[in-house]
Amino acid sequence: MKENTATYVLIALFFLSGFIIKNPFILNMISIAALTVIVVMGLNLLLGYAGQVSLGHAGFVGLGAYISSILAIRFNINPWLSILIASLLTSVFALIVGYPTLKLKGHYLAMATLAIGEIIYIFANNLVDLTGGHQGLTGMPMLSVGSFVFDSEKKFFFFVWIVVFLFAFFSFRIVNSHFGRALKAIHEKELAALSFGVNVHLYKVVIFSLSAFYAAFAGGLYAFYLGFISPSSFDLLKSIDYIVMAFVGGIDSIFGSLIITVVLASLPNILTFLQDYWPIVNGLLLVIAAMFMPKGLGGFIKWKRAIF
C-alpha cells in the first residue's frame, strides 16, 4: 500500500472512531492531537523534504492563535476569516524573517529559528493589553457554519479530522510535484540542485513560509476550539515536542509522523505522572529512535516492507 493511501485510511479510521468514542475527555485529547498533526505535517515538509531545521515553530502556532483571536474579539471579524487572515499574515512574516535566516546552515540556522520563536513568546507575554500576558486571552466566539455551531467535543472531532485529511492531501500533492522533487534535491545535495538551476534559497523560503501557514492555521483552530490561549502553550518546550514528533515519526514520512504525533500528543494526558518529566521522555525517545530507528517510524515501516 502506498504511503498516501495508508495515510488516508488511517485518517478515515480516526474519523470513524468518533462514532464509537463517547468520553468527552478522549474526544478532546484526540482533537488536540489532530491539530498537532497539522503542525507536524508542515514541519515535515520543511525538515524532511527541504532539510531545514526550525526550533521556533511553536511561535508560528502562537501567532496564528493570537492574531485570529484578536481579529475576532476586537474587530468582530468572522472566526473563519480571522483564521485565514492570521495564517496568511504568519506566512508573510515567515517569508520576511526566513529570507535572511535561511541563508544560515546547521546549528546557526537552528539557533536563529529558536530566537524567532522566543521573540514571539516574549511579545505574547509582555503585550498585556493586547494578548492578556501570562494570564491568557479569552472571549473567542465559537466556530460555526450558518446555524450549525461546533459547540461540543464530538462535533469538533469530526471537523478537525476532515481538516487533517485536506492538509495531508495537499502535502502529498506538494511532495509529488515538481516543487517537491526540487525540495528533495536540495535536501540530498544542495550543490547538485544548484547545478541543475534550482533557486535553492527561494525554495527554502517558500517552504518555510508554507510550513508556518500550517502551524498558524492549527493555532487558529486551537484558539477558537478551547476559547483560551496563553503564552505557555507556545514556548520552546512545545517547539521541541514538534521536533521530536517529526523525527521519531520520520521526517520524510507523513504516515509515520501522523501515528507518532497522535501517540505523543496524547500520552502526557494519559500518563499524568510523567507531565513534569516530559522533556526527559522526549530526550530518551530521540536517543532510542536514533539507535534503533534512525529514519523514524516511517523509515522503519518502509525498510520492513522492502525486506518482506
Integer Cα distance of 293 and 241 in angstroms: 18
E strand or H helix at 160: helix 153-175
What is the pTM for the complete model shown?
0.94
Grid coordinates standing for 66? 493570537
- Spatial contact of 18 and 164, defined as CB atoms under 8 Å apart: no
pLDDT reported for residue 1: 63
Residues 6+ apart with CB under 8 A from 67: 82, 85, 86, 89, 90, 216, 220
Predicted confidence pLDDT, tens digits, the chain (308 residues): 688 888 999 999 999 999 999 999 999 999 999 999 999 999 999 988 888 888 999 999 999 999 999 999 999 999 999 999 999 999 999 999 999 999 888 888 889 999 999 999 999 999 998 888 888 899 899 999 888 999 889 999 999 999 999 999 999 999 889 888 888 888 877 777 777 778 888 999 999 999 999 999 999 999 999 999 999 889 888 999 999 999 988 888 889 889 999 999 998 888 877 777 888 888 888 888 888 887 778 777 765 555 44
∠ at Cα 288 (285, 289), nearest 5°? 80
Tell me if residue 278 falls in helix, strand or coil: helix
Residues 6+ apart with CB under 8 A from 161: 11, 14, 15, 18, 34
How far CA 263 is from CA of 128, 248, 268, in Å, comes to 34, 11, 9
Rg, the chain, Cα only: 19
What distance, in Å, lies between the first and last C-alpha atoms of the chain? Answer: 13
Please, how many CA atoms are within 13 Å of residue 84, restricted to the half-sphere of its CB?
5
E strand or H helix at 138: strand 137-138
Please choose, from the candidates 37, 270, 34, 28, the residue with its C-alpha nearest in 3D space to the C-alpha of residue 153.
28
Grid coordinates standing for 286? 530521540
Grid coordinates standing for 155? 462535533
Integer Cα distance of 267 and 152 in angstroms: 22
pLDDT reported for residue 308: 42
Please, how many CA atoms are within 13 Å of residue 1, restricted to the half-sphere of its CB?
10
